[in-house]
Structure 1
């Protein structure tokens, strides 16, 4: 297929893809970043705070080596 013969069609398709892509990208809202750092006033006031407690036995040296050699 000789592309120079169909250059007008290639141009029209490229422009239509560009315009439709631009239209679709404008429909997507921008991301809004929020900061969720712990505020000193919130900590001092005694509001609810998530606390995670992990209870497990510590591994011995042999158990660490055995766990590391599995994968």
Structure 2
């Protein structure tokens, strides 16, 4: 509801509450096709994974 109220197009939203051990791969794939990707706090992402994903999101204009 918060995303919809913030004006996010829900057709372009991906919610990943628990991607498991494939989190880096799953999030990277979603960043390529979605405007908004929400990852739960339990995602198995190392600090280098987070930095790579953040850079990928910035490249695609999905991160400020």
TM-score (norm 1): 0.22
Considering Cα pairs closer than 8 Å and 6+ residues apart, tell me whether 1 or 2 has the greater RCO: 2
Q: Which has the higher strand share?
A: 2
User: TM (normalized to structure 2)?
Assistant: 0.24
